[in-house]
């Protein structure tokens, strides 16, 4: 079980690295002047590659988490309200990941309507979600 847990943590950390950095690319994309085509294309290429990488890391992170939960019974049974809260946050993280995908598509189509300040705030969400999950898993407050 410890091997599964260790690799789960590694893939989660790697997945979050992508979720932390992708909105930073969006900040830069939102600041690119319309005449800077080469800069825009370079940032879009970086964002596409990072999104692909992030998708690939999410799969084993989630799979290993399911293995721990259902295979080893971590968080099952009574007195595990923390797991329900964690699973809710995991769904929010998946929604955030999906939102990043949609935003990238809008940037590729030239349909972005948000400014760089909005993306700076958007970039804070995965940090808050990660802190919440770590606190729930470590402290098991309920």
Reply yes or no on whether the pLDDT at 39 is more than 90: yes
Lowest mean pLDDT among 5-9, 70-74, 110-114, 120-124: 70-74
Lowest mean pLDDT among 15-24, 42-51, 76-85, 131-140: 76-85
Q: Mean pLDDT score of the chain, rounded to an integer?
A: 96
Domain that holds residue 34: 2-139
The percent of residues in the chain predicted with pLDDT above 90, rounded, is 94
N-terminal to C-terminal alpha carbon distance within the chain: 23
pLDDT in tens, 59-78: 999 999 999 999 988 888 87
Per DSSP, helices labelled H in the chain are: 2-31, 37-66, 81-109, 116-122, 125-139
Residue 77's pLDDT is: 81
Number of structural domains in the chain: 1
DSSP 93-126: HHHHHHHHHHHHHHHHHT-----HHHHHHHTTHH
pTM for this structure?
0.94
């Amino acid at each position: 079980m410890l091997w599964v847990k260790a690799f789960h943590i590694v893939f989660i950390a790697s997945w979050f690295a992508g979720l932390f950095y992708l909105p930073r690319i969006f900040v830069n994309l939102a600041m690119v002047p319309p005449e800077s085509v080469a800069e825009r294309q370079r940032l879009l290429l970086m964002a596409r590659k990072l999104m692909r990488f992030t998708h690939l890391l999410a799969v084993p992170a989630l799979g290993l988490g399911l293995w721990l939960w259902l295979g080893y019974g971590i968080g099952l049974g009574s007195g595990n309200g923390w797991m329900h809260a964690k699973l809710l946050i995991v769904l929010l993280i998946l929604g955030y990941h999906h939102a990043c995908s949609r935003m990238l598509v809008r940037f590729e189509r030239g349909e972005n309507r948000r400014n760089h300040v909005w993306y700076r705030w958007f970039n804070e969400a995965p940090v808050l979600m990660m802190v919440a999950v770590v606190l729930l898993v470590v402290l098991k407050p309920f």
